[in-house]
Amino acid sequence: MLSPVSSPAGRTASPTVSRKRVAGAAAVGAVALGAATAAFATTPAQAAERAGASEAQAAAHQQIPDARQFQCFSNIVERESGWNPQATNASSGAYGLVQALPGSKMASAGTDWKTNPATQVKWGLNYMNERYGSPCGAWSFWQSHNWY
């Protein structure tokens, strides 16, 4: 036999009513959890893009250990491609993390330049170092011109 349940206000509810309240609260919680989960639901393409961005950032951290230089590199890549290794500029054809134009320039860093974020980081870092002295030199130029 189930005993009556007291509410915080001191009222007594039957076990059946209490189970309904608990079930109702669980349903509300499930709906809230479902809505929160839906906010993070992605298509396979979005999930792949996020995975590519994460892989690209890890490759950049590995190749650019200096925190300041990494941040400058990141500032440019975030604006150029959003860390999407397959980003393509529809009008110019620029490609990849650092928007190389043409993208095939990155082949000098590796034959896998179209698909490997580490190769794109390697090429972009070399480009920034040769042309601007460092990623922060490139970032400084980018801030003045909105390109580098």
Burial of residue 34 (number of CB atoms within 10 Å: 0-12, 13-18, 19+): exposed
Which one, of 52, 63, 69, 51, lies nearest residue 114 by Cα?
52
Which one, of 67, 73, 48, lies nearest residue 125 by Cα?
73
pLDDT tens for 63-83 read: 999 999 999 999 999 999 999
Q: Quick check: helix, strand or coil at residue 36? A: helix
3-state SS string for 42-73: CCHHHHHHHHHHHHHHHHHHHHCCCHHHHHHH
Q: What pTM did the predictor assign?
A: 0.68
Query: What percent of the chain clears pLDDT 90, i.e. is strictly above it?
Result: 64
pLDDT of residue 46 exceeding 90: no
Longest dimension (CA), the chain: 82
| Distance of alpha carbon 97 from alpha carbon 24, whole angstroms | 49
Output the CA torsion sign for 81, 87, 90, 94.
Answer: positive
Q: Which two tokens stand for residue 9?
A: 């206000």
| Residue with the two structure tokens 């043409």 | 102
Domain boundaries, the chain: 12-40, 44-145
Contact 81, 87 (CB under 8 A): yes
**Range 24-49 average pLDDT:** 52
